[in-house]
Amino acid sequence: MNIAVFASHGGSDLQAIIDGCKNNQINARVSVVISNNGNSMALQRAEAEGIPAYHLSANKSGNEEALATEILDILAKYNVEMIFLAGYMRMLHISVLEKYNNRIFNIHPALLPKFGGKGMHGMNVHTAVIKAKESETGVTIHRVNAEYDSGEIVAQTTVPVLKNDTPEILAARVLDREYEFLVEVIGDIVNGEITLG
């Protein structure tokens, strides 16, 4: 299966997916990487692995519609069957959502529906979890629709919140689990245990 990964920053989740494909935990390949940030480590990681990588943004394209057309053209060029958003900080245009309905997945560093929605990313999530005095948090993988973090949840895993956790300590513990979980769940999607639309 050909997977497109969209990422905005460091691309560590992207690397976990690439490694999972290389060591046969995922029976697929990352065929293209798209980032809205020309300086993202994700683009550098893709290039280091010999994976086609594109910096695409509404600013570069002119507007959201033109961006969506460029994205769809690239996805078609690489015969993409599934899209994974790995820290992609943009809402996808409705035309992309419709074309790849039920085939776009996102990873979120909390147990949705708690701690989701606009602005809930990165350290903001872990800070909110600690402030709410939660005893556990985790990682959610969900289908993507036109509303932030509200698509159908396909898999979740829990991570304990410990008494002396800071947002940074909790973030590191969640991230450790996130890398493994990502590979497990994408493996399940590729194998058909989690269905594509």
Which residue ranges are tagged as binding site for (6R)-10-formyltetrahydrofolate? Answer: 106
Residue 86 tokens, joined: 């790995």
Q: How far apart are CA 8 and CA 39, in angstroms?
A: 9
Compute CA distances 126 → 13, 112, 115, 181, whole Å.
17, 13, 9, 18
> Alpha-carbon distance 129 to 51, whole Å?
36
Which amino acids are annotated catalytic?
108
Residue 70 contacts residue 91 (beta carbons within 8 Å) = no
Strand partners, 140: 108, 156
CA distance 28 to 50: 15
Quote the CA–CA distance of 55 and 74 in Å, as a whole number. Answer: 11
